[in-house]
């Protein structure tokens, strides 16, 4: 639509006016907001934008590839993918407590991103340039909630080997500050981003790490990723993506139950389907999914994911239940 084309043009002009011929950095999370913000800035300043994506290994099937391949193909962005999967698994080893998991994932994320930011800054300096700007996908509701201020972000990095801590200060570039979520999606489509990215349902920063009840291990992540991919594929095939707010799939990794498959007894794990309807995630109701869709998801998961022998449905509203299990 031409109004959205105008929004894009206007934002591109604003970004050019703010950044001039200097350089910017953007952390891509895999979500809609950071991708659209980055795509706008890329359109405005080209490869003077460097994007960083931290692969923590806690994403769902295909999500890292969507950034690595599709986002780059559409935008032409200069993207650095940091493979931190081993580091996150190592840090999470032995941790089952939900808050401990969240803290650990948050802390590792900051560490890895700081190092990546420092590398980008140093590379620019080697070419006589500075990186003065940090792009963030702040939306209008976040601006209102935080009192409307904008400004700078500081990264204090302790990672330069043998050296002193280094202070990095960036001026924020927030091209989505005037937009609501639905407008951000429209801008994303206008910029050519794939619908699967633009319409992605909310997904928590700590990712699958808080959808494994128990310790996070590589094997458990693989099991959950396969079960989750099946549930998402069936919900999409049934045309339900935009009707449900989100549908976490949760692996009860410390629970086993007896089952039977073929001639043999199994002793596998349950997964929980948690489909919810909501306006803003503050409250939610469990979604009355059609039985045939539930049946297909259950049959496929138990047939195709050997470690899972039971699929259960969460029928709790929020409150009292939260959307996520951790």
Catalog residues that contact ligand XMP under the rule CB under 6 A: 102, 202, 204-206, 246, 281, 318, 322-324
The reply, when asked if residue 32 is annotated as ligand binding, is yes
Distance CA 144, CA 147 (A): 5
**DSSP letter assigned to residue 163:** S
The reply, when asked if residue 317 is annotated as ligand binding, is no
Shortest spacing between CB 182 and ligand XMP, in angstroms: 17
Nearer to ligand XMP, 205 or 214 (CB): 205
Q: Residue 82 in 3-state DSSP? A: strand
Nearer to ligand XMP, 51 or 323 (CB): 323
Nearer to ligand XMP, 192 or 202 (CB): 202
Shortest spacing between CB 316 and ligand XMP, in angstroms: 11
Burial of 260 by CB count in 10 Å (0-12 exposed, 13-18 middle, 19+ buried)? exposed
Helix or strand run (H / E) with residue 25: strand 23-28
Nearer to ligand XMP, 120 or 198 (CB): 198
Shortest spacing between CB 143 and ligand XMP, in angstroms: 18
For 79-98, letters b (16+ CB in 10 Å) and e give bebbebbebbbebbeebeee
Shortest spacing between CB 277 and ligand XMP, in angstroms: 12
Residue 272 CA to chain centroid, in angstroms? Answer: 21
Nearer to ligand XMP, 24 or 323 (CB): 323
Shortest spacing between CB 202 and ligand XMP, in angstroms: 4
The reply, when asked if residue 29 is annotated as ligand binding, is yes
Token digits of residue 319:
């409150």
Residue partners of 102: CB distance under 8 A and separation at least 6: 206, 210, 326
The reply, when asked if residue 31 is annotated as ligand binding, is yes
Do residues 312 and 271 make contact, with C-beta atoms less than 8 angstroms apart?
A: yes
The reply, when asked if residue 162 is annotated as ligand binding, is no
Q: Which residue ranges make up the annotated binding site for ATP?
A: 29-35
């Amino acid at each position: 639509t031409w109004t959205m084309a105008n929004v894009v043009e206007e934002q591109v002009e604003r970004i050019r006016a703010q950044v001039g011929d200097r350089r910017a950095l953007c952390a891509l999370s895999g979500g809609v907001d950071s991708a659209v913000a980055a795509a706008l800035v890329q359109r405005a300043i080209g490869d003077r934008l460097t994007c960083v994506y931290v692969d923590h290994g806690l994403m769902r099937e295909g999500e890292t590839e969507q950034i690595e391949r599709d986002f780059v193909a559409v935008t032409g962005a200069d993207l650095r993918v940091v493979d931190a999967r081993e580091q996150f698994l190592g840090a999470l080893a032995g941790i089952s407590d939900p808050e401990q998991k969240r803290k650990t994932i948050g802390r590792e994320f900051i560490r890895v991103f700081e190092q990546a930011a420092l590398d980008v800054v140093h590379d620019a300096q080697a070419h006589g340039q500075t990186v003065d700007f940090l792009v963030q996908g702040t939306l209008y509701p976040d601006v209102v909630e935080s009192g409307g201020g904008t400004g700078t972000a500081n990264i204090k990095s302790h990672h330069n080997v043998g050296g002193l801590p280094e202070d990095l200060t960036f001026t924020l570039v927030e091209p989505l500050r005037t937009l609501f979520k639905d407008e951000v999606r429209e801008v994303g489509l206008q910029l050519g981003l794939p619908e699967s990215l633009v319409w992605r349902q909310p997904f928590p920063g700590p990712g699958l790490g808080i959808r494994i009840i128990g310790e996070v291990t590589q094997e458990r992540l693989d099991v959950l990723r396969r079960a989750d991919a099946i549930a998402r594929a069936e919900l999409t095939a049934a045309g339900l993506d935009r009707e449900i707010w989100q549908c976490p799939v949760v692996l009860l990794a410390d629970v086993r139950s007896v089952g039977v498959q073929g001639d043999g007894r199994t002793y596998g794990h349950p997964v929980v389907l948690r489909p919810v309807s909501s306006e803003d995630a503050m409250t939610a109701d469990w979604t009355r999914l059609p039985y045939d869709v539930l049946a297909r998801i259950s049959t496929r998961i138990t047939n195709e994911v050997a470690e899972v022998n039971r699929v259960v449905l969460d029928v709790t509203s929020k409150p009292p239940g939260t959307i996520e299990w951790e």
